[in-house]
Amino acid sequence: MAAKNPKPHGLLAQFDTASAIYSACEKIRDDGFKYWDAFTPFPVHGLDKAMGLKRSMLPWIVLVMGLTGASGGMLLQWWVSVKAYPLVISGKPLFSWQAYVPITFELGVLFGALGAVFGMFHLCRIPQHYSPLFKSERFESVTDDKFFIAIEAEDPKFHPEETAQYLESLGATHVEMVEQ
């Protein structure tokens, strides 16, 4: 049973070209909207800058995880050869670090890759099984050849009629209200 007065999620505007959505994103950013996003069928170079997005934390996550893996690998090998099972083989020192470089490198790569995958999942809020935008039939074409901007109703500058006219003035070919 559907609610009589469903709460609006926001407005969804359709654009036909990458250049149109790029210039619209710049104007929306400059006009101070806070809760909005752009959806494209392929990566548009510079769109993150046009949207005013900050640099990603992902490189730092990968760096910390890679260093953690490498230092953990070296520490484990040191502990095994010096503390747990100290064996002198062919007169070599107990801690011969040159022999441990491959494992140290591999654990650094492994932990860095795991940090990249799970960091990306966290930063992108994946998996997201549902979005109110999925109710729009037009939004299905975002995976083919159309470009979309969604401005959420939570935005302080959101006013249904005024924001719809604003999006049309930016070159949107179709604007629709999406409900929760």
Structure tokens at 145: 């050849």
On whether the CB atoms of residues 164 and 11 are closer than 8 A, the answer is yes
Per-residue model confidence (pLDDT) at position 48: 92
pTM reported for the whole predicted model: 0.75
- Split the chain (180 residues) into runs of 10 and give each run's mean pLDDT: 73 94 95 93 94 94 98 96 90 89 98 98 89 89 91 92 94 91
Per-residue model confidence (pLDDT) at position 2: 54
Per-residue model confidence (pLDDT) at position 177: 92
What residue ranges do the domains of the chain occupy?
A: 8-55+130-179, 58-123
Distance separating alpha carbons of residues 91 and 140, to the nearest angstrom: 69
Per-residue model confidence (pLDDT) at position 52: 93
Distance separating alpha carbons of residues 32 and 93, to the nearest angstrom: 64
Per-residue model confidence (pLDDT) at position 39: 94
